Amino acid sequence: MGKFDGKVVVITGASSGIGLASARAFAAEGASVVLAARSADKLKQAFCELSHKGQEAGRFIAVPTDVQKEDNCKRLIEAAVEKFGKIDVLVNNAGISMRAMFRDLDLIVLKRLMDVNFWGTVYCTKYALPYLLKSKGTVVGVISIAGFKGLPARTGYSASKFAIYGFLDTLRIEHLRDGLNVLVFAPGFTASNVRFAALTADGTPQGETPRDEAGMMSAETVAIKMVHAVYKRKSQVVLTPIGKLTVFLNKICPRLVDRLEYKYMSREPNSPLK
């Protein structure tokens, strides 16, 4: 018996990284999983992988979804309910990053970050909420340490993650008496494709990561911790030692954290801070 037998989990950004790892982890615990992502080809690969891993194929559906578009998010939720009749967990994981100084940034980049990261979360949550309230389920927002402390050369990313934090924190308070669980989940630096696809000042993907991905927490480890946090109905999780330390120190000596962050981020190869 899995922890999520009979439960229905909707995951955005499910074709790679934390999203795909989370789909595997929830499926391993018995959940039926609705996979959503913009890339239909990658989504099909993820669906085929899950369906052929000794799982019941009927426990999975894949719904191509661009979370920037409200109608896509509405269609995603409708497809989940049409197939399974309910939603128990919504994981708002779809997101993109950036790396550029604000002074050099084309504002369309910042808008796209907000459209995908913030509005994607809002749209999906809005349409899933009636079903989550009925099931007394959980809405998850995958943010970042950048949702607690601004990261230099990542203004759009930090702004979007702060916005998600504020949105979900308020949603939790509004539904304190409704049985809805709201989880703000901050993985910290995780080995995934997010830095490869991060946008530069003109909106083009940087195409490579400036960090040693091998030294980071794996997406699989992050996913296991997410599943556990949802099962325990936690309201906030911050992962990685550096993430926890940053959040803690920022409460007591924020100016020191400013300097440490600047020094840390400026060490990246080809850092915009140099």
Domains of the chain in sequence order: 8-241 (3.40.50.720)
The one catalytic residue in 123, 131, 157, 165 is 157
pLDDT in tens, 208-222: 666 555 667 889 999
Instruction: Please give the model's pTM, rounded to 2 decimal places.
Output: 0.92
Q: Is 131 annotated in the active site?
A: no
**SS3 assignment, position 210:** coil
What is each CA distance from 26 to 45, 94, 214, 216, in whole angstroms? 18, 17, 24, 22
Mean pLDDT of 92-121: 96
Phi, psi of 120 (to 5 degrees): -60, -40
Of 21-25, 193-197, 257-261, the poorest mean pLDDT is in 193-197
pLDDT of residue 137: 98
The full 3-state SS of 132-165, as one line of letters, equals HHHHCCEEEEECCHHHCCCCCCEHHHHHHHHHHH
pLDDT of residue 217: 84
> Do the beta carbons of residue 253 and residue 221 sit within 8 Å?
no
> Is the pLDDT confidence value at 176 over 70?
yes
> Is the pLDDT confidence value at 20 over 70?
yes
207 — pLDDT class (breaks 50, 70, 90) = low
Looking at the chain, the number of H-run helices and the number of E-run strands are: 9, 9
Q: How far, in whole angstroms, is CA 125 from its chain's centroid? A: 13
Percent of the chain at pLDDT > 90 equals 80
**SS3 assignment, position 97:** coil
pLDDT of residue 102: 96
pLDDT in tens, 26-75: 999 999 999 999 999 999 999 998 887 656 768 999 999 999 999 999 99
Mean pLDDT of 91-99: 95
pLDDT of residue 210: 60
> Is the pLDDT confidence value at 205 over 70?
yes
pLDDT of residue 52: 76
